[in-house]
Amino acid sequence: MSCGRGVPIVVFGSGRGSNFRALAECARSGTLAANIAAVVTNVKHAGIAEIAREYNVPVLEIPHSGLEREAHEEAVINSLKVFKHEWIVLAGYMRLFTPKFIARYFDQTLGCTRIVNIHPSLLPAFAGADGYGDAVTYGVKLTGATVHLVSAGLDDGPIIAQESIVVDDFDTKQTLAERGLALEHRLYPKTLHRLLTEEWHVSCGPAQDGRARVVFGTKGGHK
Ligand code: GRF
């Protein structure tokens, strides 16, 4: 039981699962070169689990309540042992990882973790749980979504791709989230496919104090 053909991945989520559905749909149709080996959720009866079953993806339901953060992560790692995976893909996973977990998925050759996330804002603006709500509250005219590699900080780590949407004057959190999610559902599978199939490296860019970002292509660019 799994979904799609290509690089083996596992998807982590805590809620609705609309990004998972977009990923699974693309994996099934072949536009995402990934094999979704399992879904991990820390929430009982989460929407993502139900959708995973629709796509024949095994679900590991591992609630975190009553467990220390590290003990929960150990349980996740143990359950994942039988599922070959090269990447963890976060799709609405509402848990921060410990530095120990981050270190475990750090790839020395790549210089980054093998964990990807999608965030509902143009980072570094509006990190945290409510990107679309924060954009409406703040009154920005433009927001969007960011796909990034995960590091120890909150919604931090090398940016892979971003796309923007205009915030209309009469947008509510709900109307903005609707357009934002539609954008996410295009951006995430497309970006993940590039990450799994193209040449790229992590670069600090031309500035001396430049932050790490993902640069596609082998020729030119910064190391
Ligand atoms: C998305 O907005 C995603 O960017 C954020 O959490 C939300 C998950 O939604 N990290 P869903 O569960 O994929 O529908």
* Interval 70-127: pLDDT, tens: 999 999 999 999 999 999 999 999 999 999 999 999 999 999 999 999 999 999 999 9
The CB of 92 under 6 Å from ligand 1? The reply is yes
Q: What are phi and psi of 89, to 5 degrees?
A: -115, 115
Distance CA 14, CA 91 (A): 8
**Percentage, residues of the chain above pLDDT 90:** 94
CB 173 within 8 A of CB 167: no
- pLDDT higher than threshold 60 for residue 223: no
**CA 166 / ligand 1 centre spacing (Å):** 19
**Percentage, residues of the chain above pLDDT 70:** 98
**CA 18 / ligand 1 centre spacing (Å):** 7
Whole-number average pLDDT of the chain: 96
Q: What are phi and psi of 171, to 5 degrees?
A: -65, 140
Token pair recorded at residue 54: 């629709």
CB 88 within 8 A of CB 9: yes
The CB of 158 under 6 Å from ligand 1? The reply is no
User: Which residue has 């292509």 as its token pair?
Assistant: 217
Reported as a single tens digit per residue, the pLDDT across 164-199 is: 999 999 999 999 999 999 999 999 999 999 999 999
pTM assigned to the model? 0.96
Sign of the dihedral defined by the CA atoms of residues 66, 69, 75, 76, in that order: positive
- pLDDT higher than threshold 70 for residue 43: yes
pLDDT in the model for residue 206: 87
Contacts of 49 (CB under 8 A, 6+ apart): 17, 39, 41, 59, 61
Q: Is 208 helix (H, G, I), strand (E, B) or coil?
A: coil
The CB of 18 under 6 Å from ligand 1? The reply is yes
Average pLDDT over residues 51-75: 97
Q: Is 180 helix (H, G, I), strand (E, B) or coil?
A: helix
pLDDT in the model for residue 218: 72
Catalytic residues: 119
Token pair recorded at residue 22: 């977009």
Q: Tell which residue, 200, 12, 26, has the closest CA to residue 88.
A: 12
pLDDT in the model for residue 10: 98
pLDDT in the model for residue 222: 54
The residue to mutate among 178, 184, 188, having the most atoms of ligand 1 within 8 angstroms of its beta carbon, is 184
pLDDT in the model for residue 221: 55
